[in-house]
Structures are given as structure tokens and as C-alpha cells.
Structure 1
Amino acid sequence: MLKINNLAVSYGMIQAVHGVSFDVKPGEIVTLIGANGAGKTTILRTISGLIRPKSGQILFEDQDVTKTPPQKIVAAGLSQVPEGRHVFSGLSVMENLEMGAYLRKDEGLKADYEQVFEKFPVLKERRNQDAATLSGGEQQMLAMGRALMSKPKLLLLDEPSMGLAPIFIKEIFSIIQEINAQGTTVLLIEQNAKMALSVAHRGYVLETGKIVLSGTGAELLDSEEVKKAYLGG
């Protein structure tokens, strides 16, 4: 579904990503793990069209989207939940969800709002509340619900557990698995390596903009290198 070939990204003179290649197959949860500054968010933002790469190629469903504008990438079926949630303050929960459906012209909107409310009952309760007044965990749910309203084939999640209480982290990860089981492919970036690898089919370990290890979620959880560097073992 997604193929990244030899991707290199720079900020001015600083190269953040060095020739990274990986793929995501339909129906998978794939995770990229690594320390802060490893280049994880840069890769997601480049896939989403928010950053232009220095070189390399991004293929989504065999179409080259390397230079495609972000709105066309969303329309093609690829949606990102950004790090830090970025809900629209001053707009209600419902209006935030409507923003997620902005590009849609189909008939299925009502059923999809209901589906989001089924996954995140707290959003239904607070549908008329200003999004800025929600707790961190609730804002994360709203950001995920908003992304789902664009009906993505591939959902990009950037640090969904960041700043959340442990009870919310468990809930968010079980919802990620549920979304995946219902047919959405997921590319997940996460500092909580243990949680990410426990739900992922496959994973890649990034260090200073390069992939240094890859394997199934179970293999990486079991790897001595990963345990030492990311799992406190």
C-alpha cells in the first residue's frame, strides 16, 4: 500500500532523514520507533506532503505521491493524526469532525459520524463543547475521529500516547487495534516502544535518520538491542 524508496529529507544544511526505505502492506499496523530527533515525525510529514524530500520516492497504492499536495494526498485516502493533537479550538467537537469530512461529497457521512461516536462515546456526550476544553485524552480521541472522517485507507498516527495518563494510553491503543481490525491500515510513530510493538505486525527502528533494525513486532520486543535502548531492559 505504501512504499518508501531511499527517502532523504533536509532542513537547510541539516539532514534529518538519510536514505530510508520501508513499506506498509494493506491491513497491517506498522510502527516506527526511535528516540526523539530520530526523524520519525519528519518521515510522516513528508509522506503527508507537508515537507518536500531532498530525494527519494513515496508510492501510495503504486502511485507516485512524492510531490503531491497534502489535500490531494488526503483525497487519495491517506490521513494523519498529528503529534500534539492540534484540534481546532473555538470550534465544537462536532465542527472538528466536520472539518475531517471537508473533502467528502458522498452520502455516508451520517453513518460515519455515528461510527466515530460509537468508538469514542465521550465525543458524543461533548459534541457541542469547544474542543479546546477537552482533556488531553479526549482531544486525542477527537483528533483520531477527525482523521477517520476522511475515510482513510491508511491512517498515520504521530505519537498518539504523548502526554496521556496510562488509562487513556491503553484505551487509545485498543482503539487503534479496533480501527485496524475494521480494515484501516495503520502507520504508527510512538515513543512508547513497548505499547507500539505489542500491537504492531511489523516495526522499524530509526536512529539519527536511518533504519537500523526491522522485524515483526514480537521479534523487536524480544531483541536485546531494542530492550536495552527502548524498553528499559
Structure 2
Amino acid sequence: MKLLLKVSNLNVNYGGIQAVRDVSFEVHTGEIVTLIGANGAGKSTILKTISGIMHPKSGTINYADKDIQNASAAAIVKAGISQVPEGRHIFAGMTVMENLEMGGFIHKRGTDMSATFADIFERFPVLAERKRQDAATLSGGEQQMLAMARALMAKPKLLLLDEPSMGLAPIYIQKIFDIIKTINDQGTTVLLIEQNAKQALSIADRAYVLASGEVKLTGTGAELLANADVQSAYLGG
């Protein structure tokens, strides 16, 4: 499998604290890779740094054979990386359709987006039913679907997902993980951060365990699901 993303010796400060320490990991085209760890382990900081919202103190982020650690967030989206932020951050006061249009901002004005919308509505039928509705009136699970759909409007090669199941009812959690798997099966590479370690490891090809801003353990999703240390620390086993 071709290497898509290579993070090497990444160090990131956040509010005067070193949040990420010498982190290295890889994501290959077609994979689902997950980063798991307790709150404060540096997971969200890593995603924000990959997507250009934050910049590292040192280290490199190589995406599709180009170093992007100093690129702007807009340039990174144009290069093919989209992020679904923790907490969804949908645009309240705008309809579902308007939120989706915002996600497609990188496409040239006048581009025919009808096929993209058709694909999104096939994948997320509930959004088709609610497309004229204010996004703020959707349920938590529907808002998460909208946040994912909005990110997919840019047609990313790599989708970054930050805590997609946080705060959702159990019925939606399984649905969201099924959607992630489908998105991946249809050709989008996924880097997933998730507190629900069991669900994340169950769909991941490979995983990295973070603690105090450092990578402590790595393996396939199945290997880490079966690891006694991971079970006791993250899986309630």
C-alpha cells in the first residue's frame, strides 16, 4: 500500500504546554488508522496540526510526498485533507444545504456539484429529508452526519475524524461507525481519533496508543483489542 501520510518526530506546544512529544506514525492509502488514548493525550492537537489549524514546534508532516507542516489550513483542504472537528461545529442559522455548500468551497465557482450532492444524499438519506431545515434543529446524531457530509463535499483523499461518537445516543454511535467503514470502503482513507476505543479498534486496520503526548504502543486494530494493557486502560477489561 502506498504511503499517504507520514508524521515524523512531531512536537507541538499548546498554551505553553508541550502537548505532543516526538510523535511519529504513518497512514497508507485505503487504511483506517486510529489514535486512541485518554483525554489530554494530545490526539486532537495532532489532528489540528495535520490540518494546519496549529503549527508544530518541530517535526515534519509529509502528505502525498509533500511536507505540509507549514501550509495554511485552506491549502491543506485543497491538497485533499478534510477534518470533521470534535463537537461537530455545524453552522447554526444556515440550512443543511447551505452547510454542505460551505463544505464544497474549494470547487471553482460554476462547477456542477449535482453528482456530489446526489452521492451525499444517497449516503446520508436523513440529510436529503432535512435539506431546507436549519442545521441547529437537527439531533446530535444528524448533526454529526452533517459534519461528516460537509467534510466529504471537498472530495478528500484523507478524512480526519475527531471524536465522531462523542455525546451521541447509542443508536447513533453504531450508525456513525458503519458510515465511517462505508466511506473507507468507497475509497477514502481515514485517520480517526476516538474515546470509544473498542469501536475504533474494531474497524481500524492499524492503531497507535498515545499517553502524555507520546506514542506508547502500536499494532493492528485486532492486536490492540486483544492486548491486556489496552483492555485494562481503555476497554474496561
Normalising by structure 1, report the TM-score: 0.99
Matched, 1:229 2:233: yes
Matched, 1:10 2:13: yes
C-alpha distance after superposition, 1:146-202 (max 9, x if no partner): 000000000000000000011100000000000000000000000000000000000
Alignment partners' CA distance in 1, 2:206 and 2:226: 13
Counterpart position of 1:33 = 36
Alignment of 1:120-199 (within 5 A): 120-199=124-203
- One-letter code of the match for 1:11? Y
Alignment partners' CA distance in 2, 1:14 and 1:222: 33
Alignment partners' CA distance in 2, 1:170 and 1:109: 30
C-alpha distance after superposition, 1:41-91 (max 9, x if no partner): 000000000001000000000100010000000000000000000000010
Alignment partners' CA distance in 1, 2:195 and 2:202: 13
Counterpart position of 1:115 = 119
1:52 to 38, 50, 55: 55
- One-letter code of the match for 1:159? E
Partner secondary structure for residue 33 of structure 2: strand
- How many residue pairs get aligned? The number is 233
Which runs of 5 or more residues in structure 2 are unaligned? none
Alignment partners' CA distance in 1, 2:198 and 2:182: 18
Normalising by structure 2, report the TM-score: 0.97
1:21 to 1, 21, 24: 24
TM-superposed CA distance for 1:109, in Å, is 1.4
Counterpart position of 1:100 = 103
Counterpart position of 1:86 = 89
TM-superposed CA distance for 1:219, in Å, is 0.1
Q: RMSD in angstroms over aligned alpha carbons? A: 0.9
Q: Which consecutive segments of 4 or more residues in structure 1 shift more than 6 A? A: none
Partner secondary structure for residue 90 of structure 1: coil
C-alpha distance after superposition, 1:102-121 (max 9, x if no partner): 11128451111111111111
C-alpha distance after superposition, 1:2-30 (max 9, x if no partner): 00000000124310000000000000000
Counterpart position of 1:61 = 64
TM-superposed CA distance for 1:126, in Å, is 0.4
Which runs of 5 or more residues in structure 1 are unaligned? none
Alignment partners' CA distance in 1, 2:30 and 2:169: 28
Alignment partners' CA distance in 2, 1:42 and 1:165: 26
Matched, 1:219 2:215: no
Partner secondary structure for residue 102 of structure 2: helix
Alignment partners' CA distance in 2, 1:125 and 1:55: 46
Partner secondary structure for residue 195 of structure 1: helix
